[in-house]
């Protein structure tokens, strides 16, 4: 068996590999599935239930991606065995994606959990391989990961044994297991951190954010295309399409305004930043679903009000701005004026909810103004002292 040892945190030119990019692209299938189910739930007037289902299923998708990405940052050997095990994980992703509709619509998590089992067994084997090839504290960390992942996975399997009608109990168990999942890294690395690479991790999260924003554009484009073809409502849809593009373009600009790897110096910053991306990525994907809802409302296909359809876009857009600001943009701001630009823009986008048929376009203008303000403020000469 080839040796698997930790890579150096100071390794130069550490970049995402083609296998990692392939892994990310396969996750787009699952993200697209959960976005589609959210659209259906909201347009049918079941927004609260839809958001709850979306949050739960998106967590499963996001957490599977997180586990792979941080392990790969520390132990990617890119040898044949590592590649084969990663391809097994990708198979699990596709199984999970196939189970998204049933999990979302009827609370049947069987297929999702099966896909999760495939991914987690593969990941556990990677940690056991790392433990086999290392010694001392590093070996203990790898074994803790393997044991922790296995124990929580048994919990997910046990959740399937609950009666199908016990939705409240399932929801409570889901929350407990999700919290347990997020505790595994903290417990495993309590006395030694894995050798994740700051630049590599920053790039991995950035690339996944790009993929999610790309899926948002793709979903919105298809929605507009179908509405124009079926209803010939180009006039009603142009403000939504233009505003949606401005929001997504601004989201990309704001996220990549600062080089985050300079901030990721230790495990404390990394845990908060990495976990917080659940909100960043979840809201980014929800923007696309919201644009689809707004399109369907504009042509009379959605059973929701214009204000509710607008909120489907403005709420995730505002959440995206606030979480990006809170997680890393604020660490690079020089004064109060720069600090307030994104929170104020988020509040203004929420206010756009009540702008009627022009709500999405108005939100897009606000997002664009936030980008412009950020660029102009950053170019001011630094104040001495």
Say what percent of the chain tops pLDDT 70.
98
pLDDT at position 384 is 46
Work out the average pLDDT over 306-330.
93
pLDDT at position 382 is 58
Q: How far is the C-alpha of 260 from the C-alpha of 198, rounded, in Å? A: 8
65-69, 107-111, 248-252, 291-295: range with lowest mean pLDDT: 107-111
Which residue did the predictor score with more confidence, 237 or 325? 325
pLDDT at position 385 is 42
248 burial level (CB within 10 Å; 0-12, 13-18, 19+): buried
pLDDT at position 148 is 96
Q: How far is the C-alpha of 117 from the C-alpha of 96, rounded, in Å? A: 9
Work out the average pLDDT over 279-291.
94
Work out the average pLDDT over 4-33.
88
Q: Is the model's pLDDT at 108 over the cut of 80?
A: yes
pLDDT at position 289 is 92
**Model confidence, pTM:** 0.91
Average pLDDT taken over every residue of the chain: 89
pLDDT at position 285 is 93
Say what percent of the chain tops pLDDT 90.
52
Work out the average pLDDT over 99-127.
90
3-12, 91-100, 321-330: range with lowest mean pLDDT: 3-12
Which residue did the predictor score with more confidence, 347 or 261? 347
Q: Is the model's pLDDT at 45 over the cut of 90?
A: no
Q: Render pLDDT for 330-347 as a digit per residue (tens, 0 to 9).
A: 877 777 888 888 999 999
**CB contact set of 168 (below 8 Å; sequence gap of 6+):** none
pLDDT at position 29 is 85
Which residue did the predictor score with more confidence, 219 or 288? 288
pLDDT at position 219 is 82
Work out the average pLDDT over 228-238.
75
pLDDT at position 383 is 53
Highest mean pLDDT among 96-110, 116-130, 231-245: 116-130
Q: Give me the domains of the chain, ranges plus CATH numbers.
A: 18-188 (no CATH), 198-377 (1.20.1410)
3-state secondary structure the chain: CCCCCCCCCCCCCCCCCHHHHHHHHHHHHHHHHHHHHHHHHHHCCCHHHHHHHHHHHHHHHHHHHHHHHHHHHHHCCCCHHHHHHHHHHHHHHHHHHHHHHHHHHHCCCHHHHHHHHHHHHHHHHHHHHHHHHCCHHHHHHHHHHHHHHHHHHHHHHHHCCCCCCCHHHHHHHHHHHHHHHHHHHHHHCCCCCCCCCHHHHHHHHHHHHHHHHHHHHHHHHHHHHHHHHHHCCHHHHHHHHHHHHHHHHHHHHHHCCCCHHHCCCCHHHHHHHHHHHHHHHHHHHHHHHHHHHHHHHHCCCCCCCHHHHHHHHHHHHHHHHHHHHHHCHHHHCCCHHHHHHHHHHHHHHHHHHHCHHHHHHHHHHHHHHHHHHHHHHHCCCCCCC
pLDDT at position 1 is 60
């Amino acid at each position: 068996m080839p040796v698997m040892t930790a890579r150096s945190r100071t390794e130069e030119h550490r970049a995402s590999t083609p296998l990692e990019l392939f892994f990310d692209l396969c996750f787009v299938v699952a993200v697209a599935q959960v976005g589609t189910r959210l659209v259906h739930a909201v347009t049918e007037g079941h927004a609260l239930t839809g958001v709850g289902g979306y949050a739960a299923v998106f967590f499963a998708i996001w957490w599977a991606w997180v586990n792979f990405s941080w392990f790969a940052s520390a132990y990617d050997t890119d040898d044949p065995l590592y590649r084969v095990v990663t391809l097994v994980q990708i198979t699990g992703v596709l199984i999970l994606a196939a189970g998204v509709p049933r999990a979302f619509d009827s609370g049947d998590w069987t297929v999702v959990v099966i896909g999760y089992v495939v991914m987690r067994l593969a990941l556990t084997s990677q940690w056991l391989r790392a433990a086999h090839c290392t010694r001392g504290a590093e070996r203990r960390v790898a074994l803790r990961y393997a044991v922790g992942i296995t124990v929580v996975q048994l919990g997910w399997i046990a959740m399937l044994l609950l009666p199908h009608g016990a939705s409240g109990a399932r929801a409570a168990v889901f929350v407990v297991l999700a919290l347990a999942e997020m505790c595994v890294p903290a417990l495993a690395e309590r006395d030694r951190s894995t050798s994740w690479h700051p630049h590599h991790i920053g790039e991995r999260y950035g690339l996944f954010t790009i993929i999610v924003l790309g899926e948002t554009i793709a979903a919105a484009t298809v929605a507009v295309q179908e509405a124009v073809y079926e209803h010939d409502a180009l006039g009603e849809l142009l403000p939504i399409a233009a505003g949606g593009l401005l929001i997504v373009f601004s989201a990309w600009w704001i996220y990549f305004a600062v080089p985050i790897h300079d901030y990721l110096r230790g495990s404390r910053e990394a845990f908060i930043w990495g976990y917080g991306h659940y909100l960043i990525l979840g809201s980014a994907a929800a923007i696309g679903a919201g644009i689809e809802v707004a399109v369907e409302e504009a042509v009379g296909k959605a059973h929701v009000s214009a204000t509710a359809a607008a909120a489907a876009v403005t709420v995730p857009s505002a959440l995206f701005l606030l979480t990006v600001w809170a997680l890393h943009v604020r660490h690079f701001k020089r004064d109060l004026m720069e600090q307030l630009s994104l929170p104020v823009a988020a509040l203004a986008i929420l206010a756009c909810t009540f702008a009627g048929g022009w709500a999405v376009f108005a939100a897009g203008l606000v997002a664009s103004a936030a980008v412009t303000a950020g660029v102009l403020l950053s170019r001011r000469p630094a104040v001495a002292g």
